[in-house]
Amino acid sequence: MIHASLKQLAAALTARRISSVELATLFLDRIERLNPKLNAFITVDRDKTLEMARAADALRAAGSGQVAPLNGIPLAHKDIFCTEGWLTTCGSKILSNFVSPYDAHVVAQLKLAGMVTLGKCNMDEFAMGSSNETSWFGPVKNPWNTALVPGGSSGGSAAAVAARLAPVATGTDTGGSIRQPAALCGLTGLKPTYGVVSRYGMIAFASSLDQAGPMARSAEDCALLLNAMAGFDARDSTSLERAAEDYARDLDKPLNGLRIGLPTEFFAEGMSADVRTAVEAALDEYRKLGAVTVEVSLPNSGLSVPAYYVIAPAEASSNLSRFDGVRYGYRAPEYGDLTDMYAKSRAQGFGAEVKRRILIGTYVLSHGYYDAYYLQAQKIRRLIANDFVEAFKHCDVIMGPTSPTVAFAFGAKSADPVQMYLSDIYTISTNLAGLPGMSIPCGLGAGGLPVGLQIVGNYFAEAQMLNVAHRFQQATDWHLRTAGLCE
């Protein structure tokens, strides 16, 4: 059952071939056995999980006709989502003792769907990182090769699904934090259009960029999970009030005549040869499926990394000011006065990368530098969004690599923050523009490691992107390849 799709798991539960308690126990036992090798989970509570599973079984046994399609299926949550009664740490020492008194909207929606929480997944501290090396709880290991990073910041969620410790997981994407770890771990991961999924209860990093999304083996599983996650939430001022969609509605639609835009900037220098080979082979497969490729240009995409690393830290410096040791979270054990308590609690509670970004953000928002840095970055952001508007006049979706390389070794980039930031060179622009994007496995590169193909759609084109991904996955088996720890 660990390799079953969501549809297959739902069918097995409906046919009483397995109970939710048995299914949850199967995954809990795998977590107990494999998590010490991977460090994918920060918190697991067997009693809470089995209580949810028993409630799901009882609902099915009642035969009320109100059983949701995903009822009784286990999932894992990135530890950035507030989850009532569960430790919610954001991968940081400063929240290492925080038990959330409420559920994030995403968590509540998935509870409403009857899904069973297996635990909370490890992540880069406050979602700041591309390798899952910044977590206070230690790095997550890539199930394909435990000497390599799984990507970040949703690396724990990616590793959990890749190692079949959970059928699906939630993630968040601020500059590629769903798509990049999905690529490095051989998964399908989707970042929806900004505002499609509520950010309520999702601990904020950069409010104008953060977006929650699904991580799973296949596009079909992502579509089913997104159906449950998406929806308007009045508690989130950035949540969009739109009619409910069935994101699985077009999965089997033929791709004849689909126009795939290939940005010249994505296929220039920077992409490793093995990634290029896999991506070009995937594009050939799409041509066989009836799609046509056209050249497009995103001339300002090269400015996305510097613009992002002005805007995101600026927003982070504001959002993280609430973690001061007063109301909740870590407080320094010894201090002189209130100001000293603030300073010591934050100095001891935040890690190096978080401190770096807070300092950058405070600097670019300070008097005399706001116009020179922050305002200019926002102007560049508008230019990047306009580039996509122009490109989509000539194509239906845009494709390219998700990450410039396959998974890399621990420590390979941690000494050079700029090199680490460039891991997201292909993903950041979609966050700046607020567009939907996803990554699907498209081949194997150096060392037999997964390569991700990125698909970017126009605003609210999630169903079309999922169709494009699903048809590829019907024709290939890259998404079915498993990591060594799955055997």
pLDDT in tens, 25-61: 999 999 999 999 999 999 999 999 999 999 999 998 8
State whether 197 and 60 are in the same domain: yes
Asked if the structure places residue 32 within a domain, the reply is: yes
Query: What's the pLDDT tens digit per position in 139-152?
Result: 999 999 999 999 99
Is 78 among the catalytic positions? yes
Distance CA 472, CA 464 (A): 13
Number of domains in the chain: 2
Asked if the structure places residue 398 within a domain, the reply is: no
The pLDDT confidence band at residue 197, using thresholds 50, 70 and 90, is: very high
Q: Is the pLDDT of residue 305 over 70?
A: yes
Distance CA 27, CA 313 (A): 37
State whether 248 and 341 are in the same domain: no
State whether 48 and 186 are in the same domain: yes
Is 100 among the catalytic positions? no
Asked if the structure places residue 369 within a domain, the reply is: yes
State whether 202 and 345 are in the same domain: no
Q: Which of 344, 379, 414 is a domain's end point?
A: 379
Catalytic residue of the set 19, 100, 130, 153? 153
State whether 58 and 178 are in the same domain: yes
Asked if the structure places residue 388 within a domain, the reply is: no
Q: Which of 348, 379, 410 is a domain's end point?
A: 379
State whether 245 and 309 are in the same domain: no
Q: Which of 379, 395, 425 is a domain's end point?
A: 379
Query: Which of 414 and 397 is assigned the larger pLDDT?
Result: 397
CATH code for the domain of 234: 3.90.1300.10
Q: What is the pLDDT of residue 483?
A: 82
Domain that holds residue 19: 6-252
Answer yes or no: are the C-beta atoms of 350 and 94 closer than 8 Å: yes
Q: Give the number of other CB atoms < 10 A from CB of residue 312.
A: 27
Asked if the structure places residue 444 within a domain, the reply is: no
Asked if the structure places residue 91 within a domain, the reply is: yes
State whether 361 and 244 are in the same domain: no
Asked if the structure places residue 269 within a domain, the reply is: no
State whether 314 and 230 are in the same domain: no
Tokens 């230019």 belong to residue? 383
Distance CA 455, CA 461 (A): 11
Is 48 among the catalytic positions? no
Q: Give the number of other CB atoms < 10 A from CB of residue 319.
A: 18
Catalytic residue of the set 177, 239, 317, 403? 177
Query: What's the pLDDT tens digit per position in 71-119?
Result: 999 999 999 999 999 999 999 999 999 999 999 999 999 999 999 999 9
State whether 236 and 114 are in the same domain: yes
Q: Is the pLDDT of residue 233 over 70?
A: yes
State whether 248 and 307 are in the same domain: no
Query: What's the pLDDT tens digit per position in 383-393?
Result: 999 999 999 99
Asked if the structure places residue 418 within a domain, the reply is: no
State whether 205 and 60 are in the same domain: yes
Q: What is the pLDDT of residue 268?
A: 82
Angle between helices 219-229 and 6-14 (to 10 degrees): 70
Q: What is the pLDDT of residue 65?
A: 66
Contacts of 91 (CB under 8 A, 6+ apart): 42, 79, 80, 122, 123, 124, 125, 126, 127, 134, 135, 136, 137, 153
State whether 247 and 313 are in the same domain: no
The overall average pLDDT reported for the chain is 95
Rounded to an integer, what is the distance from CA 480 to the centroid of its chain? 20
Catalytic residue of the set 20, 78, 301, 423? 78
